[in-house]
Amino acid sequence: MLLVALVGCGGAQKPAPEAPKPPPPKPAPVVETADLSPVAAPAGLFVLGRVKRPTALVDTLAHWAGVPLGLRDLLPFGAKDLDAVLAWDAPVELAVAVAPNGRRSSVEAGLSIGLTSTQQALAAAHGQGYELKRLAPEIYGVLGIPHAACAIAPAIGSALARLVCTHRASELEDLLPYMTRGLPNAPLGERELELELELRVEPLRQRFASEIGSARLFAGFLVRELQLDAPRFDTAVSDTAYALADELVAVVHDVNVVRLEASVDEQKRELDADLSVSFGDHKSWSASMLAEHGKHRGAAPEKFFAQPADADSAAFYYPHDPAIYDRISAGLVELADAYLEQGKVGKVTRQRVTRVLETYFRWDGAGVNASGTDAVEPAKKGDPRVSSDWMLLRVDNAPPTLKGVLPDLAAILSDRQLRAAAARTLKIEDKELATARLVPLSGPGVPAGTKALLIKIPSDIGPLLGRSFGLGGKSEGSEPRERAIAVVMTGTSAVVASAANLKILGARLGQALAGKSPALATRGDLGPLKTVQANWAGFATLRALLSSSAAQSHGDPNELASGLPHHGQVPMFLDFDVEPQTGANARWHLSVPAALFEDLPGLAPLLGAALMGGHAAQSP
């Protein structure tokens, strides 16, 4: 019993202690991420712009031009660390919108550049010395950029992040969400290496409705500035100003979208650009005029390819109904006649001015033209050779009054009363005005008895006109330039020719009438013009641009072109067309071959001289 008791007492155990409870789990850290949900376009968005692949676009054009630099090479040495941050092939984008009420500006705009990542961009910005300010999860403002408010933010689309800049912080607040979460996926065009720009007019119509409606009020201010206390002239000025105001309002209501697109075709080796306008209505004269042109289109006529083979530019035009210009013609005739009447110009001269204006507006537009330059032997031995430009225009269905235009112009420019009125208006002396006289014109193929109008024009006509408005001073030592013009009627058609001197005018006019000189049909570089269907189309070359008066002031165009790889003779093609049935869309098209870019580096000295000349002109 004792053993049992002892065993029983020894077997009694204390209860086991309870196991300690594990500590409650710590809450997971909150990771803030940027909101990348899609954002709709602002209600007032009216401009969208995009360069799809800026690096490829710039590098392709640079390669065509033979320039050994790409877009990346343009980074300054101090910013080379940005090379790894910029998403070079991501689109560069633009957005412009009507600002919400209460903003300082009525319009706000933003520019967006693709980045490789938010963190790399923030590190690069910090390394460049910019202060960063957190605006939202993963979105940081970049402070210290002059005249701009910028932010780095994650984005949708081909770039993981974007740098978005606007003019003001309020604009950045409005546009940043759309430019990082909406615009990158917004459809604009389907071309590769494309530049796209789209203007939508409806938001502007809504936002600036009151300003548009006030166009006639502004016209009234203009009328008061132009009136001369001559009842007939003042009435004509008033009618013209209010008609222009009404036309402006009508155009704004007619136009829906204006688009600019440009792309590089690496296989065809050409740059293509299109400017198009779509119309919702045709209540304005401008929209109606374009619709009228759309009714008349076709291929290049044979007479286009019969133009001189050495032309630097040429074009063909299909006809339109001249009646569409009746209102403009009547308004300008009344305005001109009323002005001349109050200036005491005689009735005969006023009638001549009326005939010239009416002849111009009765032209139905059908015809072809060509222009170029010819080398001229120096007047004195040892003087440099110069070039003389010429122009030929073949007119179908010429107005009968075209034959008398040159005598009318000669009499108009010689009328003493008219010259006195013009000198008073322009605040210049009579001797600074153009003079004109009819002279005999001869040459192989030129009909006997043909006369040319020889006009002497002050070469400093730009400063002359500027001086009439109180700008600039009188230029000294300039010689007047001559222009010779001739008209030869052939039945219902006519040939109009002009040149810088009578010798070249006679030679070119005679060749055109005889039709025996080499023609554009012999050129193999005008292929696109053999298949185009348009209201008008043509080509131009760098030589044509070099023949302009501004370019000639820096040297002879033939000499400038001779040093270029292709001598400035590569044609770029232009055409215009309108949707024939409705006139709802008008399009201007430009095509530039890669070979033209090869000539551009050779014009760098000319561009530098022009810039230096402009700087010198602005210096006191």
Check residues 369 and 491 and name the one with the higher pLDDT: 369
Report whether 172 contacts 151 (CB < 8 A).
Answer: yes
Q: What is the pTM of this model?
A: 0.85
Which of 316-330, 337-351, 553-567, 606-620 is predicted with the least confidence, judged by mean pLDDT?
A: 606-620
State how far the Cα of 583 lies from the Cα of 381, in Å rounded to an integer: 59
Q: How confident is the model at residue 615 (pLDDT cuts 50, 70, 90)?
A: very low
Residue 4 has pLDDT above 50, yes or no: no
- 10: pLDDT strictly greater than 60: no
Lowest mean pLDDT among 51-55, 165-169, 248-252, 555-559: 555-559
Give per-residue pLDDT as tens, 144-190.
888 899 999 999 999 999 999 999 999 999 999 999 999 999 887 76
- pLDDT at position 459 over 70: no
pLDDT, position 3: 29
Q: Label residue 30 by pLDDT band (50, 70, 90).
A: very low
- Is residue 610's pLDDT more than 50? no
Q: How many CA atoms lie within 13 A of 157 on its CB side?
A: 30
Spatial CA neighbour of 395 closest among 365, 440, 439: 365
Segment 566-597, tens digit of pLDDT:
989 999 999 999 998 888 999 999 999 999 99
For the segment 360-387, the average pLDDT, to the nearest whole number, is: 78
pLDDT for the residue numbered 613: 47
Range with the poorest average pLDDT among 1-15, 51-65, 560-574, 575-589: 1-15
Q: What is the DSSP pairing of strand 313-317 with strand 536-540?
A: antiparallel
Alpha carbon distance 72, 88 (integer Å)? 8
Provide the pLDDT for residue 435.
93
Percent of the chain, pLDDT > 70? 83
Judge whether 139 and 151 are in contact, CB under 8 Å. Answer: yes
Distance CA 141, CA 125 (A): 10
Confidence label for 9 from pLDDT (cuts 50, 70 and 90): very low
- Between 183 and 105, the more confident residue is 183
Q: What is the mean pLDDT of the chain?
A: 86
Pair of tokens at residue 293: 């042109």
Q: Which range has the worst mean pLDDT, 18-27, 70-79, 223-232? A: 18-27
The closest of 575, 491, 502 to 535, measured between CA atoms, is: 575
Going by pLDDT thresholds of 50, 70 and 90, the confidence category of residue 194 is confident
Predicted local distance difference test score (pLDDT) of residue 82? 76
- Answer whether residue 27 shows pLDDT above 60: no
